[in-house]
Structure 1
């Protein structure tokens, strides 16, 4: 499953560089941990550029009412610059401004953010606002952005987000989750009746790669629940699942 982890890292690196992931596919032969370190270092370089100017802009924003700052942010700065400024902004001030921004714009900003730099802001954002942003990102099918933030959200918020994260969204998001150790913790929060839905989504849309990747990163109890749901699919789907599992060297996951 190391190869799958590397493939997921290539997708995230391509997003960071605004590049076609196919052009970077050769990197999937490298260790996923090395790829993640490379991506984080490149993120640091991008976010640390012009740091003094960003700090001055963040300090200057405190001189204006939150409503005015929000209008300037959305109409003048744009999502990329706002994401950079958020990384050096006081959390309370950033949350106050964020509450006044449209959901669509906040989703645009989320795409450009480095969650590591805004973890305190994320923690202070109202849950309803986070769920609105999540719903917008699901509508856009932006699994990478969702996956980058899951590790920075409390369990209660993740559990609440299951309402907007449908089965297809969960499979895709788990595949590109930044911290794969978090995958098992997230799946532990799922109600048991969701496992049949995950299996059905895998069969309907041929999502075997993220499904078997998910099986590799969850605990034994949840693994058996998902594997059992896969074994209960119709005969044609079970045959297809076994075929793909054998190709990927994970057929043992489907054995009763």
Structure 2
């Protein structure tokens, strides 16, 4: 089928996943032709820590967006399940994901194998004291009429436990992702534009340490020039087929 199947069959695989792997689950991407930011450039402000902290209206809109986020009704698709099966078979060591939806874990992947470099929508975090809690509890407050709920511990600003533009990333999480990239034999980048660092840079890290690079994406990426194989086929069909082919070898 593809050379990638033979490389995956050798094991020690790391998958780097982006929004494209979750579109079949009903979660739109951001930069694609029908992406959230393509259709509504103002929506980018909701992902900017500067705008979020400075503008109460941005926070109010952000809470409404979280209340109706498609992650609450989305279910894992065939691509998520294929990676979970690959891990269960011992070929896949780690999934490094830019996604915040938790669908990899819901597909059956051991949470210990999932590195969420952009955080998770399933928890809230206080920007003042750092306290975290279940997102559902705060959304219940929003549904009860609190337009911009604050931290009940210190009164600080609450947001989802996700990394916004301009917000410092978790260094331990980044180090774990870099270590996985350095150690893998094959990196499969799935549904990511590879334009946002430091996630995109993990491809270069893996390549520098001798890994084969497979990119599955519907559009060109800046790392196509160093890829060992580029696959433009639909993720929901090609990734399960690729994983099944590798497992059958």
Q: TM-score, normalised by structure 2?
A: 0.28
Q: In proportion to residue count, which structure has more strand?
A: 2
Q: Which has the higher contact order (CA 8 A, sep 6+)?
A: 2
Q: In proportion to residue count, which structure has more helix?
A: 1
